[in-house]
Structure formats: structure tokens, C-alpha cells
Structure 1
Amino acid sequence: MIEFLPLPDDHPDLAASPMLRGARHILGYALEHEGIGLTATKAFKRDFVHWAVENFEWPGKSPEEMFRYHRVVNEADFQPLELLHFLLIRLRLGRHYKGRFLATNDGRMYAGQAGALFDKLVPFFLLAMDHAAYSRIGEAPPGNWDTWLNVMNVEIEDGVSERKLFGVFYGEGLDWDNDGRRQIGTFSSCVLKPLEWAGLITLQETREPDGRTAHMIFKAPLWRSALKLETDEMVRPAVRH
């Protein structure tokens, strides 16, 4: 069982959720500027895309990194923005009207309610979205969120490497140097990345003995404040706030 706990709008842990922060930026900008301009294909125009790159504070998507590879950045080049655009329309918090993205009445209301917006946006993003659809590999790993979250609840309490966590679910032996490259990449794209973007885990870059870049996975404070899981009693220390 997975339960998201309601959080008050001023809960300090909410500030660490990239998804929530990005959604509030979009809605706030649309309300302040009477909408956001759209291209002929109904993507956000470049002036707003550049503003979003500079203000979203998205993990792994710093302005320096984005503009290093793109002289100009379109919505399709900034995947988090493209995804949030879709989600806000899908959840009826925004709509397209006469060439602009506008906040709906619900969007206007939720823009000022961080806790309620998190509860509406993040569970849907995490549990209902097809994360393989926007991953580079295009495949989903075997498993489900109930299993992944309850096992991770125990395994990452003190931090664990990406490779070791993959081994917990799918067996030891697979590595980036062998047939495991694709499987580990799929697990990272469809499970770890969504959790990081939701603000529930953090990935800290480290180095393997051979110098290869690796990641350690830790629970973010929001994991403990927002999630209620069946394995909570197995976590040491089993602390809930």
C-alpha cells in the first residue's frame, strides 16, 4: 500500500520538490503575465523556455549545462518543462486558449496552495504516468511502485549505490560493463529519476574505484514526511514526523 500524507502549505520539505517548484513557477508566471505564449505546435515559446531553464533549479539541468549544448533551448530540449506542461493540461490546472497557456480556475487556486498542489500533482506523476514513454530507452523495468517503494523504504535508509539497489531487485552480477547496462539504465530512468524529480530521493555523485561516475541514493526529507508505506515498521530507526 502507498499512501501520500497531506502536508500543510508551509511545510518546509515541500520546497525540495522539483516537480512542485516547476509547476508553481509555470502557474505563477501565467497568472502574472496573463498567460504564456505558445508556438504553432502548442509548445511554450522560447522566451519562457529560457526563463524556465534559469529559474527551475532542476537537478542535472542547470542553465550552464543546458546552454552549453544548445544555443537556443526549445521546450522539447528541456524535458522537465515539456512534462510539466503536459501534466498541468492533463490535470486541468492549465489550458490553451488563443495561442496562450492560461491557468484555469483550479490552477489559480492550487498555485497558492503548495501542499494541495503537491498532493494533486506528484502522486499522479509518480504512479499514473508511463515513465518509459519519455525515457531515452523507451522500455519499463519489471516491477511496480508498491514493490519498489516498500523495498527502497528499507534499503536506502542509510544510503545505497545505484548498482547495489538494482541488484536488490534484479539480482547481482549485472553491471554497466556487461548486459546490465540497458537494464540498469531503464531502472534509473523509470524509477529513480521520477523519484528524484518528485523530491523524494536525492542522488549524490561519487566515483567507482576505476574512476567511473556513480550515484549514491538517499531519502530526501520529503520521503519521510509525505509517504506512508507498509514497510515503515521495518525501517531502523522507524521515525515518523
Structure 2
Amino acid sequence: MNHLIPISDSAIAMRHSPVLRAVCLTLDYIHENGPIGLTATGALKRYFVEWAAAAFDWPFYTTEDLYAVNKVLNECDFPPLTIMHDLLLSARLARHRKGALHPTRLARQLRADPAALWSLLAQQFLFATDHTGYTRYGDQPMGNWDIFLNVINVEAQHGLSEDRLGLVLYGPGEGQGWRDEIRMKAALYIHVLRPLCWMGLLEEGRSGEGFERDETYFKTALWHEAFKLETDVHLDPVTQH
């Protein structure tokens, strides 16, 4: 079941959604500079990757972080850009033609209405995109969006950890090895939590480093604009971020 409600507040979508901001910046870049060149393998050329890394200001992907592990930046070195590129194509907002990325007529029309653009992107990214290709092992979480959204709606009201989400969805998991647990959490993150964060519906807070790092997820104000869920009747007063 699709619980997504078309939103009308462009400002709230722009404020919370890295995907929407990046798409708008990309469309504006093309409008001002012309189509974006592609490599022989169909990736965006390095000059745009370097521009995007700075312009997008993507949470947890700062230029300092990216250049700390890369002397130069190719599209594959900036995962949000790779995924946004895929999304533009799958949502029919852009196409490859004559060695460059061109916006479609739909993209040019929706750029003037960021709320409608966000709704299209969210529909495609959450419910029509197969995120398996972005995982290391091809894992998929057990469950569906109806279950995921209704559980997160309640559990993220005052902050939700990945451990808590796994526990509520799948139980204690006695006898489950640490490798299986890590893969389960990674699948939930790639398929569910990250798309919700990148669309601006959840906000991710991080503390600690490496294996000691903890993530906590909170619903944003955009969540309450975009979803009407069965578990709404069970909610305590809202915590918005």
C-alpha cells in the first residue's frame, strides 16, 4: 500500500531532503552551463563530480571526507551522486544523449514546482527503486513498506536506533552470528533508513566512530506532511527535527 500524500510545502521539502536539493542544483547547473558530459562508461564526468561534492553539501559526505580517501573524485567515489544519477534516469527526469546528461521536458516543468518534484522523486526512490545493487552482498530485508513505515512511525517518535528497529521487526535473534546481524542492519539501512533520510523524512544523528558508532533516527516535519499511516492513532506527542 502506498501511504505517500502529495505535499504542498516546497520549503519544508527543500529544507529536509538532500535528494531534492541535489536534483534542483543539478537541473539549475544544466540550465546555466549546458548538458553534463559523460564518460565512456556513462558516468558523470569528473568536473561535475567535483562541483557537486561541494555544492550538494551532502550530510556525512563532506568534501574533506571525500578527498581524505580520494586524490581525485569520480562519480563512484561520491555515492549520493551515483544514486541521484540513477534516480534521474529511472524517474525519466533525465536521459543520456550524445555523450551527455540532458534533462527531460518533465524535469524542466517540475523544477518550477519543488513540492511536486519531491513527490515524484519520493515515489520513485522509496517504492520503485531496487536498492539491492547498492548493497555489498545483495541482501534484502524481510518485510515490506507497509510494515516498515508503520513500525518506524511509532518507534522513531522519540528516536530510533538500528538495533531497536531490528528487534521490533525480527525479534531478539538468539543464536544469530554477528556477521548475520551486521548484514541485517546493513540491509535495513540501504533499503529503508537511508532512502527515508535522503528524501528528508527521517533525520540521522551519529555519535562515536567505527564499530562504536551509533545512529539514531528521528522523524522530520516532512514525515508528518507526507504520510498518513495506520499507526498514527498510537502516537504520543510529536518530536520533530
**Scaled by the length of structure 2, what TM-score is found?**
0.90
The alpha carbon displacement at 1:238 in A equals 6.8
Deviation of 1:43 (Å): 1.3
Letter in 2 for 1:154: V
Match of 2:61, SS state, is: coil
Aligned partner of 2:21 in structure 1 is 21
Instruction: State the partner residue of 1:189.
Output: 190
User: 1:67–1:73: 8 Å Cα contact kept in structure 2?
Assistant: yes
Cα distance in 2 between the residues matched to 1:54 and 1:3: 34
Shift of 1:13: 4.0
Q: Please, which moves more after superposition, 103-112 or 211-220?
A: 211-220
Aligned to 1:99: 99
Matched residues, percent identical? 41
1:124-143 equivalences in 2 (<5 Å): 124-143=124-143
Deviation at 1:139, TM superposition (A): 0.8
Q: Hey, what does 1:203 align to over in structure 2?
A: 204
Going from structure 1 to structure 2, the CA distance change for 1:26 and 1:176 (only over 3 Å counts) comes to: farther
Write the deviation string for residues 8-40 of structure 1: whole angstroms up to 9, x where unpaired: 253334321011111111111111112111112
Q: What is the TM-score normalised by the length of structure 1?
A: 0.90
* Alignment partner of 1:168 is 2:196: no
**What SS does the aligned partner of 2:203 have?**
strand
Structure 2: gaps spanning 5 or more residues: none
1:123-165 per-residue CA deviation (whole Å, 9 max, x = no partner) reads: 1101111112212232101111110001110111011222112
Contact 2:95 2:102 (8 Å CA) reproduced: yes
Output the CA distance in 1 between the equivalents of 2:33 and 2:179. 51
- Report if aligned partners of 1:21, 1:56 keep a CA contact under 8 Å in 2: yes
Unaligned 5+ runs, structure 1: none
Q: Name the stretch that deviates more: 227-236 or 112-121.
A: 227-236
Amino acid at match of 2:219: K
Distance 1:105 1:236, change over 3 A: same
1:218 CA displacement: 0.8
Larger CA deviation: 43-52 vs 181-190: 181-190
Counterpart-to-counterpart distance in 2, 1:2 and 1:106: 23
SS in 2 for 1:3: coil
Match status 1:213 vs 2:213: yes
Write out the 4+ residue segments of structure 1 that deviate beyond 6 Å after TM superposition.
none
User: How many residue pairs are counted as aligned between the two chains?
Assistant: 238
Once structures 1 and 2 are overlaid, which stretch shifts more, 216-225 or 47-56?
A: 216-225
Cα RMSD (Å): 2.2
